[in-house]
Amino acid sequence: MSTYRAPMQEIQFVLNELAGLEQISKLPGYEDATPDTVTAILEEASKFASEVLDPLNAVGDREGATWQDGGKVKTATGFKDAYRRFAENGWNGLTKNPEHGGQGLPQLVATAVEEMWHGANMAFALCPLLTQGAIEALELCGSDALKATYLLKMVEGVWTGTMNLTESQAGSDLAAVRTRAVPSSDVPGAPYKLYGQKIFITYGEQDYTDNIIHLVLARTPTAPEGVKGISLFLVPKVLVNDDGSLGERNDVYCVSIEHKLGIHASPTAVLAYGDHGGAIGYLVGEENRGLEYMFIMMNLARFSVGIEGVGIAERSYQRARDYARDRVQGRAPGLDKTVPTATILQHPDVRRMLLTMKAQTEAIRALAYVTGAAIDNAHRHPDAEARKRHQAFVELMIPIVKGWSTETAQEVTYLGVQVHGGMGFIEETGAAQHYRDARITTIYEGTTAIQANDLIGRKTARDGGAVARSVIREIAALATVMSSDANGALAPIGNELQSAAAALASAVDWVVPAYGNASRAAHAASVPYLRLWGLVAGGWQLARGAQIAARMLAENKGDANFYRGKIASSRFYAECLLPQAAALARAITVGSESVLELTDEQF
């Protein structure tokens, strides 16, 4: 069976050459993130992923998490011990403030490490993913008292965190949230009691830790209608005494867990608040600003879900590649006819599928890591204008990293099954699990359409397309340089990238006025617009990589075989995938109205 191995050479190339780790390590507070230190961290993370998490992935898929009487959840064999080792090794606090027990490392480093967790065992990695967001929200919005009580334990991983948004009648429409938070003077230091039910709560109950810290959206009695009346509350599973010890069980219980298509080892809970007198909760920040605070968690979670797409695409590619290297089947067209059989890797269409998987995975990885570096620059760059510029890039890229990376993971895991042929449909090969597990990534933390609506509105139209066009100019400038490559190796990549950048520019020119003048048409085109952005931005990063690889080859530095592979995969992406940009642009600028032509009765 295939075993997950972190693609260390590729990760190091993207970290150092595309994302600029050396420059990130010079930012204030990140001086300890030297290349040697980061390499050591990545090597240890790779070992943990391969030796601890990967062997549990199939176990978790088969066993799943199980609900038990009393609202308890039993996780799959080995997961509780793996989490203990995860927390003890300090992985939970990688990027967190050292004042709260964290290691204070850059987001860029955490991005690479997260990819390994998701590649090895996505269902496991969902637990710390949610905790990271809860920590972030508390660090930025919580009172000193809440920070003192909860942050250290959460950063250490002794306690986990969740985010509670969804209700049965309020999925993406958070204005419909009905959970109530009632002032309660009979509880010292906790002026609210919560009543209601939340669904789809990832790791809302588990047996890893003694306490779970739920961040819950709810309404106070005087709250205005709609999203302006939502507040954020911290509701611990177990109340915490003044001395930091655990006290009484709070009135929040898991009443069931969902039976899902994939990520079986991750318990998705239905939580009931207040069925036995009220769940004690603590207001986070100011009343009626809960949605604003929750989006702090949401944005970090959306970025991390994009990394999920990278990790599971890489895992699916590895499994398919390993199978293709071993599976002997038929005579490959065009090869020596005296050889009666060949591995399927020798068959041209299998090579096409594998190269599609490889190039797309490299593209989503590169874009995600570059965005991770921009997050670090937006937070720590000493120049205010530079921080502003990087933040604008991050805001543009977050919906693309989330939406396009996860949509791409659907394609990659689909091809992973296809490479296996009939064996891909058989669970024992493992290919089907990746296909099933990946399916949720385009849905939770905001569907692809929600990301796309954000992209056309707040991220494109709001500033008249200024940030979008500035990025396109950068893409086009690189394409121009590569098109004029004297040796000719980079010219095909540059030519295709130039055409793709022009297609993207035409789409931006259409979206900006359409968002105000033909809103429904703009929204009908939003997902193709997001796909176009991802396709071109991914090609941009691969082209950058090819340019660097060509320079390394010319200077006779490093691993020549690796660099030639970088150029080859970039050329494949440019010539076989980037031409889709013109079709997407036409679907956006010409085809959006046709989406709206049918009447309700004609569906």
Burial zone of 379 (CB within 10 Å; 0-12 exposed, 13-18 middle, 19+ buried): middle
- Sign of the dihedral through C-alpha 310, 312, 315, 320: negative
Task: For tokens 């095909």, name the residue.
Answer: 492
The one-letter amino acid at 417: V
**Three-class DSSP labels, 475-487:** HHHHHHHHHCCCC
Local structure of residue 220 (DSSP, 8 states): -
Going by C-beta distance under 8 Å and a sequence separation of 6 or more, which residues neighbour residue 513? none
What are the C-alpha distances in Å from 493 to residues 48, 307, 367? Answer: 37, 26, 17
CB 553: neighbour CB atoms within 10 A?
17
How far is Cα 212 from Cα 166, in angstroms, rounded to an integer?
A: 18
Task: For tokens 């789809």, name the residue.
Answer: 200
How far is Cα 189 from Cα 310, in angstroms, rounded to an integer?
A: 44
How far is Cα 540 from Cα 393, in angstroms, rounded to an integer?
A: 15
How far is Cα 434 from Cα 412, in angstroms, rounded to an integer?
A: 10
Longest CA–CA separation in the chain, Å: 87
31 has catalytic annotation: no
Helix (H, G, I), strand (E, B) or coil at 454: helix
Task: For tokens 């494949």, name the residue.
Answer: 572
Do the strands 192-202 and 268-273 form a parallel or antiparallel pair, or are they unpaired?
antiparallel
Supply φ then ψ for residue 270, to 5 degrees: -100, 120
* Closest among 437, 436, 314, 330 to 368, alpha carbons compared: 314
Find how far residue 98's CA is from the centre of its chain: 25
Q: Where are the alpha helices (DSSP H) in 147-242?
A: 152-156
- Active-site residue (options: 205, 445, 496, 555): 445
Going by C-beta distance under 8 Å and a sequence separation of 6 or more, which residues neighbour residue 425? 417, 432
CB 328: neighbour CB atoms within 10 A?
11
What are the C-alpha distances in Å from 171 to residues 153, 273, 533, 547? Answer: 30, 18, 27, 45
- Active site amino acids: 445
